[in-house]
Amino acid sequence: MASSASSEIVDSLDILTCPVCFDLYKEPIALPCGHSFCRLCIETSWENGEEETGCICPNCREVFQQKPKLRKNVIIANLVENIQCKKRKVSLGVDVRDAELGDVKSEGSESYCQNCFREATKRCVPCEILCCEQHLKTHKQKGHKLVDPGVNIAELKCVEHGKPIQLFCKNDGSLMCVTRTCGQHQNHKVVDVEIAHAELKDVVAAKSPHVSESLQSVASQLQQVHEEEQKTENTGRDAEDRLEEKRRLVCQFVNESVDLMKNQIIKQKMEKLALLGKQREKLEQQMESLREGKNTMDTALKEQESISFLKSSKDLLKTLDTMSKFKFVKTTPLPGLDFTKEEKSLDMLNTLNKNFLEKMQKGLVEHKEMVDLDQINLINLYGRTPSLDLNSANRRIKISRDFRKATRSGTDQKYPDHPDRFDVWPQLVASDCFSSGRYYWEVNVKSSRSCRIGICLNSIGRKGEKSGLGMNAESWCLQKYEKLYSAHHNFKKTALSVSGEPERVGFFLDCEVGELTCIWDSQVLHVFRGNFTEEVKPAIGVFDDGSVRFSLF
């Protein structure tokens, strides 16, 4: 029956467990005193022992002046092998359908006791088996470590020795079995894992209120941001609607103005055309009368017979007399249409609109300074913390491990040759490269009496005297010398009026507008203007024995 086989296995396990590792014997050996241990366990115990009197039995403490010859305990080895075979058979194919236990389940499940197949309540770490409450008694008596059935016991054992983890080193935070207490942990503060667990839980519990307060604070700020986003969305939408209404009114005004001017033009055109029409009709009538008289005259002149000519001469003379008394219609020249006034009015409107649009665009750029130069907003919207480029550093510059701080060194650093390295000036650039968009970073100059900070084109020369920051057309920088500040570009120096001693100087780079704004305490120190659509990099020069750091926000 399954229960019989399982009970036999458990009873055998109790006898065949090594008193050092609490596991089944592995290569069991017997000491002259009669006690048996795993070969590795006893050898490790003697190697780590501090007694100088000889080898001691871990069980009865008998002392052997010379290391006894270790012989394999064949009987125990055979028993262990038999037990392992029985365990395999039980786990592979034992039929438990005839078991007398009411809560017996089928074997092979990770949820049931490996001795009787009841629902398992714990897993024994040293023995690596699941046990019900009944079969836990033996393991509890031996002080074995018990965990919940679902726990992966591989994580509870020492990777190096395969023994249960029982200790915690407070010095380096490592977990270990009893074997590792010597060596590198010999002088460390080592405590039981349960004690360490309780202490750390108290530490974590003590920090919990602070974390909860921080969580509530962040949640409150997040809610404020959400509300501000909604407010901004609504305000922006309302402004857009108002602008659309104003655009409709402006377009209506322009359309009505143009229509009014066109009506005036049409009216003047029709009035002049009417006058010209009347003059044309009178002239056409005169033209017709003159044609008739001319035709009569031409007919009479062609008459060859004198009698006939004389007979018609009376009518001819009458016609000629009428023509001689003909009054020509005099046309008064009408003034030409002049619409330059109306066109000038529209030109003035266009000029006004153009100037107004340019003023608006300029105002939007200037509005950026009023809104964005709050350093909190700049950090949130555009904040960056550049990293220093080791390949660009002059050999008299030492870089911190986090690649944020540059320190002037009295000796050359062992940097390899590199085409990007500055060879004359004690300066370097950042790894970050900008060519579009907006960026903000801060530089801490508190620890330096003489330095230069700013930007340079990535194409700046790295060799020779002309590669100094501010001493060419490819760099723009602020200089701090004692308590004096000045701006430098292309050998041009501008003295700056700075009240107090700035600890951090901020740089706001707008590549599209072409401006580098230098800021301290939300006040503008200086504004450099240039073409920053070519790749530019933050740059630092240290000229005393101090240091300059890119500050973390």
How deeply is 348 buried, as exposed, middle or buried, from its count of CB atoms within 10 A (0-12, 13-18, 19+)? exposed
Whether residue 96 has pLDDT greater than 60:
no
Range with lowest mean pLDDT among 306-310, 375-379, 520-524: 306-310
pLDDT value, residue 5: 47
Q: What are phi and psi of 118, to 5 degrees?
A: -75, 170
User: Distance between CA atoms of 545 and 553, rounded to whole angstroms?
Assistant: 25
List Cα–Cα distances, 363 to 173, 357, 382, 525, in angstroms: 60, 10, 21, 21
Binned at pLDDT 50, 70 and 90, residue 336 comes out as low
Q: Tens of pLDDT along 511-532?
A: 988 999 999 887 899 999 998 9
Q: Position 215: which residue type?
A: L
How does 209-233 read in b/e, with b if 16+ C-beta sit within 10 Å?
A: eeeeeeeeeeeeeeeeeeeeeeeee
Alpha-carbon radius of gyration of the chain: 53
Is the pLDDT assigned to residue 97 strictly greater than 50?
no
Residues 319-345, mean pLDDT to the nearest whole number: 65
Nearest to 185 by CA among 166, 200, 198: 166
**What pLDDT sits at residue 367?**
41
Query: How far apart are the C-alpha atoms of 47 and 59, rounded to whole Å?
Result: 16
Minimum mean pLDDT range among 111-120, 126-135, 346-355, 506-515: 346-355
Query: In which band, very low, low, confident or very high, does the pLDDT at 456 lie, cut at 50, 70 and 90?
Result: very high
83 or 457: which carries more pLDDT confidence? 457
Sign of the Cα torsion 171, 174, 178, 181 reads: negative
Q: Where are the beta strands (DSSP E) in 430-546?
A: 438-444, 450-457, 475-481, 484-489, 492-496, 504-510, 515-520, 523-529, 536-542
Whose tokens are 């909604």? That residue is 230
Range with lowest mean pLDDT among 128-137, 391-400, 412-421: 128-137
The predicted pLDDT at position 423 comes to 94
Alpha-helix residue ranges (DSSP H) falling in 66-192 = 74-93, 137-141
Q: Is the pLDDT of residue 353 over 90?
A: no
**More confident position, 172 or 364:** 172
pLDDT for residue 100 is more than 60: no
Which residues are 450's β-sheet partners?
481
Q: Is the pLDDT of residue 94 over 50?
A: no
User: What is the amino acid identity at position 137?
Assistant: K
Q: Using the predicted structure, report yes or no on whether residue 463 has a pLDDT greater than 80.
A: yes
Identify residue 318 by its one-letter amino acid code: K
Site of tokens 């060799």: 463
Instruction: Report the pLDDT value the prediction gives residue 101, as an integer from 0 to 100.
Output: 38
Distance, CA of 85 to CA of 80 (rounded, Å): 9
pLDDT tens digits, one per residue of 208-223: 888 888 888 888 888 9
Name the pLDDT band for 547 (thresholds 50, 70, 90): very high
Q: What ranges in 373-426 are assigned the alpha helix state H?
A: 375-382
Q: In this predicted model, what pLDDT tens digit does every residue of 181-204 receive, in sequence order? A: 556 666 778 888 888 888 888 888
Q: What tokens appear for 412 in the block? A: 């050359």
Average pLDDT of the segment spanning 249-261: 81
pLDDT for residue 364 is more than 50: no
> What's the angle, vertex CA 315, arms to CA 314 and CA 318, rounded to 5?
90
What sign has the CA pseudo-torsion 527, 531, 532, 537? negative
> Would you call 547 helix, strand, or coil by DSSP?
strand
- Please report where in the chains the tokens 């659509």 appear, as a residue: 533
Q: Which amino acid is at 242?
A: R
Confidence of residue 90 (pLDDT cuts 50, 70, 90): low
Q: What is the pLDDT of residues 4-33, one digit of tens each?
A: 444 454 455 567 788 888 778 888 998 888
- Which sign, positive or negative, has the C-alpha torsion 68, 74, 76, 80? positive
Q: What is the 3-state secondary structure (H, E, C) of 328-366?
A: CCCCCCCCCCCCHHHHHHHHHHHHHHHHHHHHHHHHHHH
Per-residue pLDDT, 366 = 45
Rounded to two decimals, what is the model's pTM?
0.39
